[in-house]
Amino acid sequence: MALLIFAWSFLLLISWTIGTSILNVVRADCFERRGDRAILAVWLGIMLLAIALLAVSLIAPLTPFVGSAIALVLVSIALRSRATRVEAISLYQSISQKHLFVFLGIAIFTAFFASQKVTIDDTGLYHFQVIQWLSKHGTVPGLALIHFTFGYPCSWLALAAPFNAGFLEGQAASLTGGFVFLILALQLSICLSHIFENRQKFEDWFFVATASLSFPILLGSGLVASPSPDVPTIGLTILTAWTIVVACNRRKNINNYLIPLILATAALTVKLSALCLFVTAFLFFILNSRHNLFHCLKGSAIVFLLILPMLGFGFIASGCPVFPVSLICFDFLPWSVGKETARRITQIIHDCSKWMCLPGAPQNVEGLNWLWYWIQFQKQTFFLIICSFTSLLGLFEFASLHRIKGDKFIAILGISGTLFVLYGNPFLRIGLGYFIVIPAFLLALFCHSRSRFRAIAVLVTSGTANSWIGFSHTYFAIFGLTLTLTLIVWFYSSKISNIAFLTFLLVTLLIVPVKLHITQPTTQLFLLLPPQFQPPTPISFVRKQVNDVEYLSPDREPHFFNPCWNAPLPCTPELTHNDIRLRNPERGIQKGFVRNSF
């Protein structure tokens, strides 16, 4: 825990400095409140650092020295701005003892969850393996030939790579996921302070609503204790939606519309599932900048520069710049997986996600015959999707009634994102950001106006947090508590203060996730260092060889989704191509792999 808190504090300082410089360069003036601006700066800074590291990985391994050098260069450039230096002094002088205690409390709470053992299968399958490749060898040509998941472009894994060395090797896997939750929790505390001090604006309630719907899932799923790119994608979806709301309801400075576009583009470099977020933000930017051609060109140039490292990684690792999308694949490259293989892999991902990736699941996923099976295992997802489409019925009417703008873009984001995820990869962690924005907007309207309809917020947030629970004593206890609190808010809405109402939400949201973590036998208190990254159960590996490529593989029946966890490089459950060789036998695996047919 202590290591995580120290590293997070260090990252906060670096990212805030870089991000504040970006805000000053862009000259966005609608984020004038100090706390909002600070959190936004941290997000901008950490994402620029991640993208810069991904760019550097194309030519060099991401060692601690390289990571420190990149951070130092970016901070040095940022501090050349007088406005950034003045803002840094002003922020430092405004920090009180109370602020430090709040930060420490949130950091300790986050560190407790983030320092638990990593249990996310995808982290064992490819997150940690890619981090190892980036930290030891950088971006390796033909890496996707070893396993297709190694070819996914992801700036977030590049951010984690410099921490995977020395005594921290294998022990800082949860650092980045915990950092995202820390930022979100800090922003929640800022919004709550605005509400408690009666200085709230609509966007404060909007963020509180999104946090209420997402926090229990992030904590309960174990995502916080992993480097999963799903965590920043969820966070950036929430933040981009929040910036759209702020920009729509503040002064009309054309530069303000750049911020959602930058955030959404950064999310796209983390995971391609953020495509609908990017399209919505780009549409928002173009529609509000359509009368200024230069501004449109400037925004497009920024987008191109930000996604260039992602395209470079895809080109080098798989021969497909946006792998696993098969639209653009350079089959003539010796290290390319090929268009047909990319198309086959996409189908594997679709089928796996519908049948929940269970080894014994049926193979016939034609039509909608998978839907009932999927609903049984994705109750929270199903509940949120129902809430999302139901919320559309009252969204526009209530937004117009209370003169709150931005509802149309939130609706576009929620609908397009939900349909996109349902078609391609209907997992809760993939689409959580999309699923919650429409219900959160409507609930925020109810709460901001102190309508008796805010009682619905208790139902929706409790249902989201607890709908996965089967029939049991806990289920009926939560159901009874939720129903009681809902009726109290409905009939006594005018007499219930914001503090009491938020307390009701807190009780229904966190009681089950916190109880589960405390009572689980695997939960431990790691005061200094997080636990060593390793598989939940011991795995034996066998050494295999194809041509001159030697690699490890889990000693199980071959299956694309058998994770290697912390096995030495190279390791794969199953080769993407069965006939590969070293690209440069004299230099070994650091020079990459090619298909033997070339």
pLDDT (tens place) for every residue of the chain, 598 residues total? 899 999 999 999 999 999 999 999 998 888 889 999 999 999 999 999 999 999 999 999 999 999 999 999 999 999 999 999 999 999 999 999 999 999 999 999 999 999 888 888 889 999 999 999 999 999 999 999 999 999 999 999 999 999 998 888 888 888 999 999 999 999 999 999 999 999 999 999 999 999 999 999 998 888 999 999 999 999 999 999 999 999 998 877 889 999 999 999 999 999 999 999 999 999 999 999 888 889 999 999 999 999 999 999 999 999 999 999 888 899 999 999 999 999 988 888 877 776 656 555 555 555 566 677 778 778 889 999 999 999 988 888 888 777 888 899 999 999 999 999 988 888 899 999 999 999 999 999 999 988 889 999 888 988 888 877 777 777 788 888 889 988 998 988 888 888 888 988 888 887 776 666 666 666 777 888 888 888 888 888 999 999 999 999 998 765 556 789 999 999 999 899 888 999 999 999 999 999 987 7
Q: DSSP E strands: which ranges in 196-289?
A: none
Domain-embedded: residue 417: no
Q: Which of 276, 187, 292, 297 is nearest to 239 (CA)?
A: 187
pLDDT at 208: 96
Beta bridge partners of 582: 593
Q: Quick check: 102 and 276 in contact, CB under 8 A?
A: no
Q: Quick check: 135 and 165 in contact, CB under 8 A?
A: yes
pLDDT at 357: 62
Beta bridge partners of 554: 541
Domain-embedded: residue 463: no
d(C-alpha 291, C-alpha 284), whole Å: 13
- Give the 3-state secondary structure of residue 27: coil
CA 40 from centre of chain: 15
Q: Quick check: 157 and 334 in contact, CB under 8 A?
A: no
CB atoms within 10 A of CB 297: 11
Domain containing 63: what range?
2-318
Domain-embedded: residue 409: no
d(C-alpha 509, C-alpha 445), whole Å: 20
Domain-embedded: residue 587: no
Hunting for tokens 């696993």 — which residue is that? 324
Q: Using alpha carbons only, how large is the chain's radius of gyration in Å? A: 24
- Give the 3-state secondary structure of residue 561: coil
pLDDT at 247: 93
Beta bridge partners of 580: 595
Please state the pTM of the whole predicted model.
0.94
Q: Which of 379, 440, 449, 394 is nearest to 413 (CA)?
A: 440
In this structure, is the dihedral angle defined by the CA atoms of residues 458, 464, 470 and 472, taken in order, positive or negative? Answer: negative
Domain-embedded: residue 114: yes
d(C-alpha 98, C-alpha 104), whole Å: 10
Domain-embedded: residue 514: no
Domain-embedded: residue 473: no
d(C-alpha 115, C-alpha 129), whole Å: 19
- DSSP 8-state class, residue 274: G
Hunting for tokens 């049984």 — which residue is that? 376
Domain-embedded: residue 448: no
CB atoms within 10 A of CB 596: 15
What's the number of domains the chain is made of? Answer: 1
- DSSP 8-state class, residue 126: I
